[in-house]
Amino acid sequence: MAIKDITTLVDLNGKQKTAQVALDLAARTGAHVTGLTVAFEPVVPGFIAAPMPPDYVEIARNQALKAAKEAGDAFNELARKAGVTGEIRTAEIITGGSTESILAHCRLTDLVMIGQENADDPEPMREMLIESVLFEAGVPVLVVPYIGSTLPLKNVMVAWDGSPTASRAVHAALPLLQMAEKVTVMIVETGRRTSGEPGADIATYLARHGLNVTIDVVPRPTSGVADAILNYVSDNNIDMVAMGGYGHSRMREFLFGGATRDILASMTVPVMMAH
């Protein structure tokens, strides 16, 4: 399926790095882009609610809406300069609360693009928003590094382990893989015996879609799969990674860590994920 509708979370910090990547992709695919701004309303603890000025919540809400509008205006200007058709929508959520108002805007789109969490310049609930969209929106997610990035799609990598989530990521990424000059399927050696050559099945599948595919099996480092992926990206000038998100349960990922969480924390190129 071609990418014809993109939804991107518009950063409130004014840098608009994710929006720029989304608009660049839209210009190449003829897609419409919806810039989604979020007005974060503060939580007022019950034990201090009574003595606070009665209009405090309304003032805070108006400030959040103002920040969202300013971010939306900046997005509209970027879209105008890029010659891309777009629109702005605003979702209001209480900080730390339900993300359903965000998810409602994400479920009928081809791709959601969202910026990586930046510990040095944080925005509310960023990690929670990424996980919520990945798990509950039912659409693929392209996470863009906070350091800024482009999406040249010359050298694209699929991190393949044969799992259902990896399979969904490959299907979701097909429109982007078909735009790439080179596609590498990177497999981390696990020591398990498999029938036939590793990666032969996915290579055949992608070849039937007209892709020139290279299979590269790499040894698993003692530090884990995430390091193998990150090192491969750095050593081979990869432009984008497609991979499954959260192969284990969320609780297990939280308690013991996992490739998904480590990649989201340390990624340096855009990562397409599906769950």
Beta-carbon contacts of 231 under 8 Å, excluding residues fewer than 6 positions away, are 221
Q: Is residue 183 very low, low, confident or very high in pLDDT (cuts 50, 70, 90)?
A: very high
Query: Are residues 211 and 105 located together in one domain of the fold?
Result: no
Q: Is 76 inside a domain boundary?
A: yes
* Interval 261-274 mean pLDDT: 91
**pLDDT at residue 47, as a whole number:** 53
> What pLDDT digit, counting tens, does each position of 90-117 carry?
999 988 788 999 999 999 999 999 999 9
Query: Are residues 65 and 186 located together in one domain of the fold?
Result: no
Domains identified in the chain, total number: 2
Residue whose C-alpha is closest to residue 113's, from 34, 22, 31, 20: 22
**pLDDT at residue 51, as a whole number:** 58
> What pLDDT digit, counting tens, does each position of 25-65 carry?
999 999 999 999 999 987 665 555 555 666 877 888 899 99
Alpha helices in 146-258 (DSSP H): 164-177, 200-207, 225-235, 250-256
Percent of the chain at pLDDT above 70? 88
How far apart are the C-alpha atoms of 16 and 78, rounded to whole Å?
Answer: 9
Query: Are residues 97 and 162 located together in one domain of the fold?
Result: no
Query: Are residues 200 and 238 located together in one domain of the fold?
Result: yes
pLDDT-wise least confident of 12-26, 38-52, 132-146, 186-200: 38-52
pLDDT at 254 over 50: no
Q: Is 150 inside a domain boundary?
A: no
* Interval 244-257 mean pLDDT: 53
Q: Is residue 256 very low, low, confident or very high in pLDDT (cuts 50, 70, 90)?
A: very low
Query: Are residues 122 and 168 located together in one domain of the fold?
Result: no
* Interval 108-127 mean pLDDT: 92
**Alpha-carbon distances of 102 from 2, 90, 255, rounded to whole Å:** 23, 9, 26
**pLDDT at residue 190, as a whole number:** 73
Query: Are residues 197 and 261 located together in one domain of the fold?
Result: yes
CATH number of domain containing 127: 3.40.50.620
Question: Where in the sequence is the domain holding 129, given as residue range(s)?
Answer: 5-144
Residue whose C-alpha is closest to residue 115's, from 11, 12, 27: 11
pLDDT at 5 over 90: yes
Which residue, chain included where needed, has tokens 């479920």? 107
Q: How much is the mean pLDDT over the chain?
A: 88
**pLDDT at residue 156, as a whole number:** 97
**pLDDT at residue 257, as a whole number:** 47
**pLDDT at residue 177, as a whole number:** 97
Q: In what order do the strands lie in the sheet with 5-9?
A: 86-94, 32-41, 5-9, 111-115, 141-144, 271-274, 240-244, 155-159, 182-188, 213-218
Identify the domain boundary among 98, 125, 144.
Answer: 144
CB atoms near residue 54 (< 10 Å): 6
**pLDDT at residue 251, as a whole number:** 45
* Interval 73-87 mean pLDDT: 96
Query: Are residues 118 and 167 located together in one domain of the fold?
Result: no
Residue whose C-alpha is closest to residue 165's, from 59, 244, 239: 244
Please measure the distance between the N-terminal and C-terminal CA atoms of the chain and give it in whole angstroms.
Answer: 18
Query: Are residues 164 and 110 located together in one domain of the fold?
Result: no
DSSP state of 11: P
Alpha helices in the chain (DSSP H): 17-29, 46-49, 56-82, 100-106, 126-136, 164-177, 200-207, 225-235, 250-256, 259-266
Percent of the chain at pLDDT above 90? 62
Q: Is 149 inside a domain boundary?
A: no
Identify the domain boundary among 92, 112, 144.
Answer: 144
> What pLDDT digit, counting tens, does each position of 190-249 carry?
766 666 677 899 999 999 999 989 999 998 778 888 899 999 999 999 999 999 886 554
Beta-carbon contacts of 241 under 8 Å, excluding residues fewer than 6 positions away, are 156, 157, 158, 159, 229, 233, 263, 267, 269, 270, 271, 272
CA atoms within 13 A on the CB side of 154: 5
